[in-house]
């Protein structure tokens, strides 16, 4: 399966993101080297999290979100 196919599938299930994601992406240059994951990876993590419906989540190292 190609990356583009996976990305399209994730977008169809989770969507394009929200205003907060767009805001962070627009201001990435202001963050002085703080790395953030790309939108597709973030949406995939959201999809996987929703599928498991965890009671608690420990997030380590999201950088800029």
How far apart, in Å, do the first and last CA atoms of the chain sit?
Answer: 28
Is residue 32 pLDDT above 70, yes or no?
Answer: no
What is the pLDDT confidence band of residue 65, given thresholds at 50, 70 and 90?
Answer: low
pLDDT, tens digit, for every residue of 12-25? Answer: 877 776 777 777 77
Give me the residue spans of the domains in the chain. 3-52
Average pLDDT over residues 24-29: 72
Average pLDDT over residues 42-54: 84
Considering only CA atoms, which of 36, 53, 41 is closest in space to residue 10?
Answer: 41
């Amino acid at each position: 399966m190609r990356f583009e196919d996976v990305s399209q599938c994730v977008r169809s299930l989770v969507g394009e993101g929200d205003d907060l994601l767009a805001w962070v992406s627009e201001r990435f240059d202001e963050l002085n080297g703080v790395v953030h994951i790309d939108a597709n990876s973030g949406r995939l993590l959201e999809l996987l999290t929703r599928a498991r419906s965890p009671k608690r989540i420990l997030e380590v190292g999201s950088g800029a979100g």
